[in-house]
A and B are shown apart, each in its own frame.
Chain A
Amino acid sequence: MRTLVAALLILMLGSVARAERLIVSVSNHRVTVTPNYSGEELVLFGSVEKDATTPADRTAYDLVVTVMGPRADMVTRRKERTFGIWINTDYRQFLQVPSYLALFANRPFDAVTSPEIARRQQVGLNNVLLTQRVSGDFADVVPNDAFRSAFIRLRTQRGLYREDPSAVTFLTPTLFRTGIPLPAEVPIGTYEVEIRLFANGAFIGKTETAFEIVKVGFEQFVATTAGQNGLIYGLVTAAMALMTGWMASIVFRKD
């Protein structure tokens, strides 16, 4: 009985808090990496569903789409001149940060919402949480931190981090679409997509979806063999080397 009441309460609260519902779908939930894979673009479609509780004055919506690839620990090192040569002196460790990160919106992030809400909802590359280990402590630092900005800059150069405040387009006032470009050297794994809805600068709600990037066929076979049967893999590679060398000496034999 008590659980039923609790469930009803949650349902009511939920419906009050979410006057709008977001319905989204990705064009492909399973991207396969084949031998001729060289990057791809997914399309995210969605619509904002209004219901009876939606205030009548809400017409203009803003959307922020966040795509996050599989998480990993990364180290950013800084070189300094020591004894005349450039060597790595200082470093920061970034803990469980997305290997791919893309933020899209239908207009500039600062126009979508206030700086306060943007920070809380992690809107924009400057506001996404990137946890660092700073001398035993775990924290994110100010956006203009040298290591943080260098990290984002280097990832952006490789096409793995990106933000585009004009990528989301509204086809009708409630129907929207955006492209998700995946570079050639895309990390393998599960990608989370978060879609946040804003109206008049206020955060209304969010929904999530996901897609995965997988290796198939030969690529998959080679990768798993290398990981699980290192010895056999090594032996086969060594045998392959000997075979290639032997065949070459037969083919190019001069006598």
Chain B
Amino acid sequence: MTDLTSRAPSPTDSAPARNVGFYAAWGIFIVAVLVLPLIFRSGGSHTTFSLIGIAAIFALSYNILLGQTGLLSFGHAVYYGLGGFLAVHGMNAIAAHGLPVPLPFVPLIGGFAGLVFAIIIGWVSTQRAGTVFAMISLGIGELVASSSLILRSFFGGEAGITTNRTDLPALFGWNFGPQIQVYYLIGFWLIISAIAMYALTRTPLGRMCNAVRDNPERVQFIGYDPHVVRYLSFCFAGFFAGIAGALAAINFEIANAAYLGAVQSGVVLFATFIGGVGYFFGPVLGAVVVTMLQLELSDVTSVWQLYFGIIFIGIVMFAPGGLTSLLMMHRPLLRAGTLPMVLPAYLIALVPTLLFACGVILAIEILAVYSQGGSGSGTIHLFRIPFDLASPMTWLIAAVLTIGGFYVARMTWRGVTDAWDRAMTVARERGYHA
């Protein structure tokens, strides 16, 4: 259960060089959150940034479970959704009764809602880890999602519950009507939550979570109850998921059953895992990638979710540490200055790999048009190159690219492995270890 999630960097390593890197990473993160919307000024990009911010908090909260404690949950959206619903009800109540609570405090309502439900549900579901926990989280997720359609007065049935964020009292003249103000609200909570969640990993509890993830039996021997540790971790994850849900409710001004559903739980799992569970910022990267994919791919192709699934399968099979671990793999080479030894092999491997990818994409698109249109005629455009669907040439190109690309790519990746080993050996000789 643990091989995959146990590659977090060692905490005791406090070399000055690493400290600089640590503050640099946080500095870049905070500056990026604050400055990016000033560079990209269009309303569309502000919406995108808001979605990314929400997804990042949600994915970070998920990583408390998956990365820190080794709990694979298929129902994390329950706390996100309940946080969202409670936040909407809270906002409506504040507006109706004229309470002096400005909007920036509303995410706390969602957070405490997530916390309360995690406290209730968590005790049963964290009794065991591993596959059993995964199944229970799935079952509870389905239970809550189905119940939300029955309890209409609270969840609003299929339509959901709407609210109006501008009805709340303004703060410093901000009424949070424009998207940019909502973005900065999300960014504020993103920074606060990220710092809080990072601090959590540094507490004794966070360390115990890692211990429970790696060796629960040993944890029992030294006098801790793994169940309690898992439970506490689960409660914190629920709290931050609730904050993310409340921010989503503020952003969309609606909460509906989709917030709680299996799709939402799946997306956060995808984001966290694609980003990488071994590093704290992995889920943030994953949230950026997945949100951008969701927004951009859906414009380009009708079967974007299939590509999404293929990317996920590819990450699971070939880079189970996620994108961050792929990047961090190169750090010792970069420090030792042996990275240039690998780059030529990368460039050689890149060509057949891209051709293979093009072949797969072409095949999928042909199949998609063929089965949806039915007629099988017409042209599709791939990177602005027109392909005639009726001609056998197109099929041939797709087949050659896919099969040929696959075999050539496999050969060239062996070259990459060799070059990698050579570069790594030199790096080790110079005293830089992975």
Is chain B a partner of chain A in the same complex? no
